[in-house]
Amino acid sequence: MMPVEVTIEREGRVTVATYLEPLDMKEIVEANDKATREFLQFATKPVHSILDLTRVHKLPSNMLSNSLSMAKKLHPMVGALVVVSESSFINAMSAILSKTPLGRKVITCKTIDEAWEVVDRLLAEESAQPNISSDAS
């Protein structure tokens, strides 16, 4: 398995990125670019992301600065970012990102099941909202 594996779930509405050690920023950037090319450029609704870091204990040294610069260039169809980790350090990094003006929700969960509950709730809330574009006929 590669250090970063990205799959698409829930009928194209959720990407799941699973990270393994050893991990470097080059691999993270490549996985992000691949997800944009393969999933986001065709999206017509926001695509939420589950970032599964449960098997990562050591982040690349330049992770925070690179994450901030990557966040400034997020694809317009990127929805909420749900970070899954039990590591207090990784969760602290997520908390820092959640306080920056990304224009996206950053949510931290301790388990993948909790992350799916969050994402499924977001999807249900979105489907309950009226579609404004279909009203303009």
pTM of the model: 0.84
pLDDT at 55 over 60: yes
Query: Which residues, in sequence order, are CB contacts of 28 under 8 Å at separation 6+?
Result: 4, 19, 60, 63, 66, 70
Q: Is residue 87 part of a domain?
A: yes
Q: Is residue 108 part of a domain?
A: yes
Q: How far is CA 69 from each of CA 10, 48, 80, 128, 129, rounded to the nearest angstrom?
A: 28, 19, 17, 33, 32
pLDDT at 137 over 50: no
Q: Is residue 135 part of a domain?
A: no
Q: Is residue 137 part of a domain?
A: no
pLDDT at 57 over 90: no
* Number of domain units in the chain: 1
